[in-house]
Every structure is written in structure tokens, then in C-alpha cells.
Structure 1
Amino acid sequence: MNFLRKIVRPKTKDDEEFYYDLKTLLNFKPVQLNHYKRAFIHRSLKMTDSKGKPINYERLEFLGDAILGSVIASFLYKEAPRGNEGYLTQMRSKVVSRENLNKLGKELDLIRFVKSNINQNQVGENIHGNIFEALVGAIYLDRGYNYCHQFIYDQVIIPYVDLQKLENKISSYKGFIIEWCQKTKRKYLFESYEDTGKQAQKHFSVVVFIDGQKIAKGRATSKKKAEEMAAKRVYYAFQKEINNS
């Protein structure tokens, strides 16, 4: 397929524009553009190769996720010599949280490269983080681990990784509220239900009860997001008590 042919130098106007955009973004010269092109193909295009295998960014996303995790793990191992396994795992999860990866993808404006049959406003928030991971996977296949390592340091570790701030960051408000309730012997309940209303896209609402009293509600396009939203509101409602407990 011409769209994914192996090239060392751009041979069309579109390839040339893509090449120079990537070069500016990555701070090094991409060699095989086919890897990077694949990193921005959404599954909605239903592209396949000559053997009928799907062509999209999902396999690169898997690869990039593993590489990103390994680079962050190595950094934390060196920078937090007193951290035990649990601490290191928790800190890595905070660095590579979906929220952080989505933010990275947005700031790099990676969505401009995506080819899809779905309107950009309808593909979902997580696409930004997904294609960031896919880009890391493409860098690995094109230039190897050292280039990935430098890219992750430049784009993730240097601007975002502050161990002291990360220690105080709550990675899951739901988990935090549950742990706090258990610690203070309070009864809690997360009650969820579909709440689509007149909207075409499915929505969920979650109501949180503490000791039988309704404290907060969250509404989002997934149950998990609605739970986090509601739990975050519970956190702020009880912040003084939480800080003193």
C-alpha cells in the first residue's frame, strides 16, 4: 500500500510536509515515515495490509506504553533510592496516568496528524494519550531505544516529573475516599446509573453517600469518569476533616 511504503526521504509533497513537521516535533530526523504514519491511523479507517491484518495505531500504542513505563521506572529507580516497590509503582502510575498522557498529546497537538473516519470532536478524550504512546512506539521502531529515552526525558520527565509534587498528588479520588472511609470507619456507597437524557452519547451518573447521606454527584461519558468526578467533590467537601485525620 502506497500510504505505508518504506521511505528514507519524503517523495511526495504530503510526505515532505509530514517529514518536516515530525522533524520539528521530535528534534531529530525520522528515517522511515511508514512507522509514524501508522501511529496516526485510527481503526475507523478499517485499513488492512496485503495479508488482511489491520493497520492502525493500536499495536504501536501497546509497544509505546511498555517503553514509556520502562523509561519512567528506570528514572524513578535512580532518583528515589529509598522508595520501595509499592512507592515506585504508585509514582510511575501517577506519571503515566491517562490524564497526563492526554495532556501531553494535546500540548503536542498530535491530533492534527490523525487520519480517521470519525470527527475529531467525537473520538474521545483518550485518543490524545493513545497516539502519544503510539508515537513512542514508532520512534522505537524507527530509531531505537536511545532515541525513545531522550524523547521521553524531553517531553515527559523534564517538564512534568517532580517527585515531591507527585507524592502529594491523588491519582484516584475514588480509591482515596474509600481508603479514608475505611480508616475513619465511615460507611460509603457509590451508586451509579445510566443518565443519557436527550443526548445521543451514553452518559452515567454516580451519587456518593457517606454514612447514608448524599454528598456529591458526578456525570460523565463513562462510569469510571463519573465516579472520579463525584469522589473528587466528596474530597473537597471533607477536605478539612481529611487533612486532620
Structure 2
Amino acid sequence: MKRIIKNIFKKSRSNEDGIFFEKIEKILGFKPTTMLYYQKAFTHRSSNITDVKGNPLNYERLEFLGDAMLSAVIAAHLYNEVPSGDEGYLTKMRSKIVSREHLNELGRDLNLIEMVESKVPVNHFGENIHGNIFEALVGAIFLDKGFSHCEQFIQKSVIIPYVDIEKLEGKVISYKSLLIEWCQKEKKTFHYEVFDDNAIDGQRYFGVKLSIDNKIIAKARATSKKKAEEIASKRGYFAFQEKINTK
């Protein structure tokens, strides 16, 4: 089966001269054993590659596995580093570390997108592609080398350079949740409305208006309704920041 899958990937990739291996080794800090996992981790579903049973060969299942590994390692780190933290605190802090925004930042810093095999132009990818590939890479490490190497990679690439407990305590992971909580507390009405929905260069965009007490506070545009709402919420938060922070 491995030989069959290897042949499938070989046909789909034009760069089999060792450059991919060298880049992966540089990112990991160790020599990978089974390159098939890493090739799969950087294969977008648009490549339409399947194994002999018709199962898709792309990063999405590895993304699921990597997400679980990240959560486990981060949870253990927080448990050991913050002995006074209760379950709610630890859960909230873990959410901040493995937030989509943070994972996207990690993927961008490693420039993982340059190695993605896809039939879709890079400028058509959503922002989350960076975090998705990072999670898939973690999943590939786990399958290739086991939990120990996976934990070491997360320590090196996530915890040591990015996890600062004091800074994370003040980090906002959802401006929408924060703003809604404040509106409910202050008995203010709020409403999100999609006022525009169109496509530019083949990419769909949503325009969203945020109103508080029937007054438009902020507008935003993004590639999804959820993203547009979050951006509008962030702008709304800063418009009311002084009032929110003094409550």
C-alpha cells in the first residue's frame, strides 16, 4: 500500500529532487522517516488525489489529528505551569493558544503555504489555510515519529516562542463575544446585518454592519460572514473600549 500511495504522490508532484525533504527537515529540526505523511500534510483537496480504495489523500484528516495533539500538549503545559488555575481558566488559556488566529500566525511564520500542492491559486486560499497546514504538519509528525517528537516540536515552535502566560491572560480571542457580553450586561440592543454579498476575482466577500441601540457602529468586509462579524466587533469594541474596560 505504501508503494502504491508513493507512486500516486510521485505522479502529482513535480519537485522530487530533495528540496521538499530539505525544507521539511529544516522546519522540523530532525530527519523525517516516512515522507508520505508530510507529502499528504501539504496536499490540498483540490489536487483530487486518492488511494486505490478511493480515499482522499490530502491534509484534512491530518489536520484533525494535529489539532488533538496540540490541545493535549498545550493542556499538559498549562496544567504544569499554572498550578493555581482552575478548569475554566485552563480551558480559556488553551483556547487562546490554539485559536485559529494564533495557528494562522504560526503557519505564516513558517511560510508553510509555499509548499502546498494545489490546483487552486494561492491567492484564492482563505486565511485559515496557514493554521490548517500547521495542524496537519503536527499530525504528520505524530504518525511519523510518535508523541515524544510531536511534543518536542510543539514546545519548540509554539510554547517557547509564543506562550507568555501574563500576555495571554489579557489577550482577547473573540471581540464579538466580548461586545455581546457587554451589551447584554448594559441592556443594549445589538444587531449584525449582511449588507453586501459579492464576488471579486472569483473570491466571495461579505459586508457586515454592526448596530448598537439601532445606531451603526462599525462595518467590515471579509471572505466569510463570521470573519466580517468579528472584524466589525473589534472595531465596535475599540469605539466603546473606555466604557467596556471600566465596567
TM-score class normalised by the smaller sequence: over 0.9
SS in 2 for 1:189: strand
- Residue number among 238, 241, 244 corresponding to 2:243 in the alignment: 241
> What are the equivalent positions in structure 2 for 1:95-110 lying under 5 Å apart?
95-110=97-112
Aligned-residue RMSD, C-alpha: 1.9
SS in 2 for 1:191: strand
Name the CA distance, whole Å, in 1 between partners of 2:206 and 2:125: 18
1:29 aligns with 31
Distance 1:187 1:35, change over 3 A: same
SS in 2 for 1:192: strand
Query: Which ranges of structure 2 fall in alignment gaps of 5 or more residues?
Result: 8-13
Name the CA distance, whole Å, in 1 between partners of 2:155 and 2:16: 29
2:112–2:134: 8 Å Cα contact kept in structure 1? yes
2:142 aligns with 140
1:198 CA displacement: 5.9
- Residue number among 198, 212, 215 corresponding to 1:213 in the alignment: 215
2:5–2:51: 8 Å Cα contact kept in structure 1? no
1:3 CA displacement: 6.2
1:4–1:38: 8 Å Cα contact kept in structure 2? no
SS in 1 for 2:19: helix
1:151 aligns with 153
1:4 CA displacement: 2.3
SS in 2 for 1:141: helix
For these two proteins, the number of residue pairs brought into alignment is: 240
Percent identity between matched residues is 56
Distance 1:89 1:22, change over 3 A: same
- Residue number among 180, 193, 201 corresponding to 1:191 in the alignment: 193
CA distances 1:213-244 after superposition (whole Å, capped 9, x unpaired):
11111111100111011101111111111121
Q: State the one-letter code of the partner of 1:202.
A: R
SS in 2 for 1:203: strand
> What are the equivalent positions in structure 2 for 1:11-50 lying under 5 Å apart?
14=16, 16-50=18-52
2:126–2:223: 8 Å Cα contact kept in structure 1? no
Query: Which ranges of structure 1 fall in alignment gaps of 5 or more residues?
Result: 6-11
Q: Does residue 87 in structure 1 map to residue 97 in structure 2?
A: no
Structure 1 length as normaliser, TM-score? 0.92
Runs of 4+ in 1 over 3 A off after TM superposition: 197-200
